[in-house]
Structure 1
Amino acid sequence: MALVMFDYDGVIVDSLDVFTLRFSQACREHGFEQIKAPKDVISLFEGNVYETMRKCGLDEEIIDAILKRYEALQGVQLGNLQLFEGIPEALEQISKKHDIYVITSNLSSATIQVLKQNGISSFRDVIGAEKEKSKIRKILSVMSLHPGTPAYYVGDTKGDMIEGKKAGTLTIGVAWGWHTPEKIKEGLPDHLVGTPRELAEFLMYV
């Protein structure tokens, strides 16, 4: 048995359009004008999104206000979000062998709502940005609950690979998310998979 932690946006749910629209709106309403198009959002995730925002000059109070506004804005569209094809089946298969968690830069409540409306109940917990903004600290917290267990982090961005490695996990990049496989490779993933089925098959042998 292993510990498998998943990113949410771009791995489980196809949310780039909604995230770009609503997150950029929340940013603009709080004076952060740099996020306007999908490429701007994607660039935030070359590292930790919130660390990148701090480097752009935003303080913690403004970032929290953006998060709160984003939560309200995205809420009306959660029912329209679609899971990636093959993900429900892959998660069900993986959960039969491993303990699985969601570690996300999104908000826990929104993530849980989308998972529930799609019949996904296999995660032991969902840990979002309102609990802790650093994925490294969130991953380490979950790993502390499973001492001695091999740990994997599954993500779709260069930043996911960097943070997973810094936390001490093996990293698995997925090719169907926000970053291209070429960009993900810049984060030096331990493994790169092309489909949810390939992900499930790989994790059946660890």
Structure 2
Amino acid sequence: MKKYKGIIFDLDGTLLDTIEDLTDSVNDVMQLYHFPQHDTKKCKMMVGNGFRKLITRALPEERQKDEQFIDEVLAQFAKAYHKRYLNKTVPYEGILQMVNELHKNGIQTAVNSNKRSDYTEALVNKFFAQTPMVAVYGERESKGIPKKPDPAAALEIADKMKLSPAEILYIGDSETDMKTGQNAGMDTIGVAWGFRGAEELKANHATYIAENPEDILKYIL
């Protein structure tokens, strides 16, 4: 009997390579305010905790506590990202085949992201329309659901799947994802192809490390 019957995926850096569109959008705004721009390597270390955190980290240090200014810059970023978010974003190689194989084998899947909900849903609908998801959750703090690494959304998904946390694998590319899974009582897979790399995942006690999407199938099927 299979130990795992469900999977909860992070989105950015796990299923989709979104970093080029995010970096371009950040730099559009940095240029607007005549601030230094950032390369993709630096932006990979800024993402994962929602757009507000991304923009705060991208600003010069002396502006990172000015909440009113952050609001202003965040609004500009939202406009820039809305124009760009489908320009360069693609699934990582092997992801679509892996997700389809999970579905064929009766494994329930869901997405839990700290990305704004409208973009999370739009990207999943674009790239994974052929694969039914139990839930697709983005950031929902306005509805009283805290962001990852709080386990609330992951446990809500477990209820929808009608599975215990022990029957679900939580898969992501960052410390935040590993802590989310652990806080929910779920085993975790850290994906080495993501934004942060294997060392961060090992340091945060990933149950398994996947070097490529095919590895996920080995752990669950």
Question: How far apart are residue 65 of structure 1 and its match?
Answer: 7.5
Question: How far apart are residue 167 of structure 1 and its match?
Answer: 2.2
Q: What secondary structure is seen at the aligned counterpart in 1 of 2:194?
A: coil
Contact residue 109 and residue 134 of structure 2 kept, 8 A: yes
Unaligned runs of 5+ in 2: 58-63
Instruction: For 1:44, give the aligned amino acid.
Output: M
Aligned to 1:134: 147
Contact residue 22 and residue 81 of structure 2 kept, 8 A: yes
1:74 is the counterpart of 2:81: yes
- Hey, what's the Cα distance between the residues in 2 that align with 1:109 and 1:98? 25
TM-score (structure 1 length as normaliser): 0.78
Percent identity at matched positions?
20
Higher mean C-alpha deviation, range 54-63 or range 169-178: 54-63
Aligned to 2:158: 143
Aligned to 2:60: none
- Hey, what's the Cα distance between the residues in 2 that align with 1:60 and 1:200? 46
CA deviations 1:78-120 (Å, max 9, x no partner) are: 1532111111110011123221111012123223333333353
Pairs aligned (count): 200
- Hey, what's the Cα distance between the residues in 1 that align with 2:16 and 2:67? 29
Aligned to 2:189: 172
- Hey, what's the Cα distance between the residues in 1 that align with 2:180 and 2:68? 20
Inter-CA distance 52–118: structure 2 relative to 1 (3 Å threshold): closer
CA deviations 1:130-150 (Å, max 9, x no partner) are: 454512222122223334251
Question: How far apart are residue 172 of structure 1 and its match?
Answer: 0.3
Match of 2:99 among 80, 91, 94: 91
Aligned to 2:111: 102
Unaligned runs of 5+ in 1: none
- Hey, what's the Cα distance between the residues in 2 that align with 1:200 and 1:41? 29
Q: How well do the aligned residues superpose, as a CA RMSD in angstroms?
A: 3.3
Aligned to 1:41: 43
Highest Rg: 1 or 2? 2
Match of 1:12 among 2, 11, 15: 15
Question: How far apart are residue 196 of structure 1 and its match?
Answer: 0.8
Inter-CA distance 48–106: structure 2 relative to 1 (3 Å threshold): closer
TM-score (structure 2 length as normaliser): 0.73
Instruction: For 1:73, give the aligned amino acid.
Output: A
Choose between structure 1 and 2 for higher RCO, CA contacts under 8 A separated by at least 6 residues: 1
- Hey, what's the Cα distance between the residues in 1 that align with 2:37 and 2:147? 21
Q: What secondary structure is seen at the aligned counterpart in 2 of 1:106?
A: strand
Q: What secondary structure is seen at the aligned counterpart in 1 of 2:45?
A: helix
- Hey, what's the Cα distance between the residues in 1 that align with 2:146 and 2:25? 19
Contact residue 121 and residue 137 of structure 2 kept, 8 A: no
Question: How far apart are residue 16 of structure 1 and its match?
Answer: 1.1
Contact residue 48 and residue 163 of structure 1 kept, 8 A: no
Contact residue 86 and residue 196 of structure 1 kept, 8 A: yes
